[in-house]
Structure 1
Amino acid sequence: MTPRQRLEGKTALVTGAATGIGRAIADRYVAEGARVVYADRDADGAAAAVAAIGASARAVTMDISLEASVAAAFAELAEAGWTPGVVVANAGVQLFGHDAEIADLDLEVWQRTIDVNLTGTFLTVKHAVRGMLQIGGGSIILTGSPTAVRGEGSDFTAYSASKAGIHGLGRTVAAAYARRGIRVNTVGPAYTETGLVSAIVDDPEARAAIIGRIPMGRAGSPADLEGIMVFLASEESAFATGAVFAVDGGMTTL
């Protein structure tokens, strides 16, 4: 086993793996020796992501906001002998131009954000835990946000609330299943430039305002998250559960 294959022998599933942070994590897991399931509601995108990888990756269509879709995906994987021992619940939405301060927030926008980000994470974790109980344990990693713990998202009420819920969910599930071999941790990235935040990338003033609150003075990239995601998926983090790992350029230290 080489130093770049810390996940050899593991099967991992990453949601939102067709693009952005999810794609970077899934690709790194493959490089680290894991079999990786690229899960996304974009079936074509997931298929394209695994096309050049070969037998160590497979695509699965999963709409995390629908339990039938999540359950079917996990059942398909179990039938194929691909029950994941590592699950990264990464998929989410941030509805720029619609999410707002609470007095101006439409219920539909609130509900859509909660359905995908919080309920979608709940459903992913629920079915991940069921599978891991059958294989003797595993590691679950949630994608959180500084907006969950401080007022960074004052005009993103639904998004901030959904991420706060994810942080709480992670702690609760970690405590419930620690003695059964399942670890749950949350990674909190700061502003990370992917397609999800194109509205900010294309707005120099808004981008500068956010980066100005990051002590390291730059935006994050998906590559900045790969190392912590490998650590939490590997046995190197065997005693870590219920924690939040900030990878935010010092944003939450201010």
Structure 2
Amino acid sequence: MSPVPGPSGRLSGKTALVTGAAAGIGRAVADRFVAEGARVAYADRDAAGARTAATAATARPVAMDVTDEQSVAAGFAALAADGWVPDVVVVNAGVQLFGEDAAVADLDLDVWRRTHDVNLTGAFLTLKYAVRGMLTIGGGSIVLSGSPTGVRGEGSDFTAYASSKAGMHGLGRTVAAAYANRGIRVNTVIPPYTETGLVSTITQDPAARAAIVSRIPMGRAGTTADLEGVYVFLASDDSAFATGAAVAVDGGMTTL
């Protein structure tokens, strides 16, 4: 396996906000953005976790609950007041309710609502205030964290999660089309099964883990290091003509 390229300073001069940045993919992407030269706001409803993560001189924590419009608005407003209007936003905060999500006939309405509140309504609210800010500075780049479950039947026993991610994919395309002529780009990364705290239930179940990995043509689970570079590319000016795209970085999982 070839080594993952290191930081190249491609985000120098950028100001980024990453939701769900206290852990997992969000933390890894935020850390990489810092290494690439950006100022980075680590946004998370886990305020203590955000403070622990945002240790660099060019990083700051933001307590933000993406399900609460007042919280999202306040987070963006506080950044703007300090001259930190983000020209890069990563819409990454998400939940997957293992042991509660289910096939549609067995799914409780409460589980559906709690999942969609974070994954889809949270994406909507983050996009809403990200776009408002970017319109004041002449544009920017927004990157959404999607899922193979939103593309194919990979999440047949996760109705709420899979549908929320499918909705996020559609939302991203809609916003991309609406603001392409105003300098705002919106693209979606489709990660693989990536071993973070979000999927610890699978990681700790050898049979379940083996079943998922067997569906990845490259033969292994993904890592956050596999994803960071694609987020950097989509956040940077190297992707200046890319919008409305869904970029699969999933070891071939969605090609089957």
TM-score bin, normalised by smaller chain: over 0.9
Which residue of 23, 27, 30 maps to 2:27? Answer: 23
Match of 1:134 in 2: 136
Task: Give the TM-score taking structure 2 as reference length.
Answer: 0.97
Residue pairs, 1:26-41, within 5 angstroms: 26-41=30-45
Output the amino acid matched with 2:39.
Answer: R
Match of 1:105 in 2: 107
What is the distance in 2 between the residues matched to 1:7 and 1:50?
Answer: 17
Gaps of 5+ in 1: none
Match of 1:150 in 2: 152
Contact residue 145 and residue 191 of structure 2 kept, 8 A:
yes
What is the distance in 2 between the residues matched to 1:135 and 1:26?
Answer: 21
What is the distance in 2 between the residues matched to 1:3 and 1:21?
Answer: 17
The SS at the match of 2:61 is strand
Instruction: Describe the superposition over 1:136-156 as per-residue Cα deviations: whole angstroms up to 9, x where unpaired.
Output: 000000000111110000000
What is the distance in 2 between the residues matched to 1:49 and 1:145?
Answer: 24
Match of 1:168 in 2: 170
Tell me the CA shift for residue 85 of structure 1: 0.2
Which residue of 6, 9, 22 maps to 2:10? Answer: 6
Runs (4 or more) in structure 1 with deviation over 2 Å come to none
Match of 1:44 in 2: 48
Task: Give the TM-score taking structure 1 as reference length.
Answer: 0.98
Match of 2:195 in 1: 193
What is the distance in 1 between the residues matched to 2:34 and 2:116?
Answer: 31
The SS at the match of 2:49 is helix
Output the amino acid matched with 1:179.
Answer: N
Tell me the CA shift for residue 3 of structure 1: 6.7
Gaps of 5+ in 2: 1-5
1:64 paired to 2:66:
yes
What is the distance in 2 between the residues matched to 1:149 and 1:14?
Answer: 23
Match of 2:3 in 1: none
The SS at the match of 1:7 is coil
Aligned residues: 251
User: Comparing 240-249 with 2-11, which one deviates more in the overlay?
Assistant: 2-11
Q: 1:82 to 1:202 in 2, by over 3 A?
A: same
Match of 1:207 in 2: 209
The SS at the match of 1:155 is coil
What is the distance in 2 between the residues matched to 1:3 and 1:84?
Answer: 20
